[in-house]
Amino acid sequence: MDVQSSFQEYFKASPLITARAPGRVNLLGEHVDYNDGPVLPAAIDRTVYLAGAADAENTVTLYASDLDSSTKFRLDTLETKIDIHGDPLPGWALYPAGVAWSLQKEGLEVSGLKAVYTSDVPVGAGLSSSAAVEVVFAVTWGALRGWEIDSIRLAQLCQRAENEYVGVASGLMDQFASLHGVQDHALYFDTRDLSWEPVPLPKGTVLVIADSGVRRSLTSSAYNERRTACQQAVELLLTYNPEIHSLRDVSAVEFAAYGDFLPPVVRRRAEHVVKEIARVQSAVAALRSDNTRSFGALMFSGHASLRDLYEVSCPELDALVEIAREAPGCIGARLTGAGFGGCTVNLVEESSTAKFIETLMEGYYEQTGRETEVYLCRASAGASVEQVK
């Protein structure tokens, strides 16, 4: 995407830098982040692109080319969330403004900025378009002002922007993956101690993401109910093991022994989390030993658990997974993200990609009367910045 030309056209000047930050998909480890569990995302080659230059004024001028919308705000009035005319910032501008606010709060220098940005990360599909926007602005300000910061901390500052400034509750995985992506690799990320390592994805495979067309309706009440159930499980299981702090500390063997003492709904929620954490560990071992079929089976198992135990799937997502199971070249499939709509992620043999996508699209329309947007992706490198020559 030629953001340099867009910058030149909009600002009648040349940009100093270009930056990019990818979206992400989660391959395994769903609803375990708030239970201190490990996750297995991958940055994908769906990306936010930015062209920018410092502005001597203490202002930020933004042009979102996809929306054909612009705004301008001052860096000393960020708390008020208003533009230079005193009007509320448009929703899309809260993300870059929030990053500036969070960086300043950390004591990092943030300059005036002129920027144009565009994205091919689908909005609302659960591929972390908002985190990619946050990250691309964070690395842009770092490059313009010349400061360096630990990349995990930078991810946390972007997360703080989303949580505290925009007002959207999210974990750290999205910003982490956008910053730390490794080409052709998934990322094993431990949400408890924040350690991570790249894990190679099988050679000759691609990631196919299929949008159910059902916009996620994970209400705060449904989300909070599940978090509460997990906490109830921990409190009740302390009777049997006083050493546990979260469901991360409960092994599958222990849960088999103690799980029957939990109320039925709490038991189902906790069983998903305990087994999903074990699935992530098994998946990493499968990828490292090049056991592709085992990894695919774990994806299918993860979906069944989200459907039956955590109860966050929906008929459309289930249809996509079952159609994929019988489609040519499919290794594994599951819903990705919070659930109640959104997307599935499929690991597919590259040689069968065209036939797989055709089968999935036709089958989904036949079963549901809906069309699915399909995105062919590869695991990509994390965010980067370049000086314009």
Q: Catalytic residue positions?
A: 174
Closest CA to 249 of 284, 277, 226: 277
What three-state secondary structure class fits 20?
strand
Task: Retrieve residue 17's tokens.
Answer: 């830098």
Cα 54 from Cα 15, distance rounded (Å): 9
Enter the tokens of residue 270.
């906790």
Give the number of other CB atoms < 10 A from CB of residue 322: 15
The kind and range of the H/E element at 136 are helix 129-145
Smallest CA-to-CA distance from 294 within 312, 304, 281, 305 is with: 281
The DSSP 8-state label assigned to residue 212 in this structure reads: -
Q: Reduced to 3 DSSP states, what percent helix, strand and coil does the chain have, rounded to the nearest 5?
A: 45, 25, 30
CA–CA distance from 306 to each of 211, 302, 309 (Å)?
Answer: 17, 6, 6
Please name the residues in contact with 107: beta carbons below 8 A apart, sequence gap of 6 or more. Answer: none
Q: Which residues contact 164 (CB under 8 A, 6 or more apart)?
A: 98, 102
Sign of the alpha-carbon torsion through 176, 25, 292, 283 = positive
The size of the chain, in residues, is 389
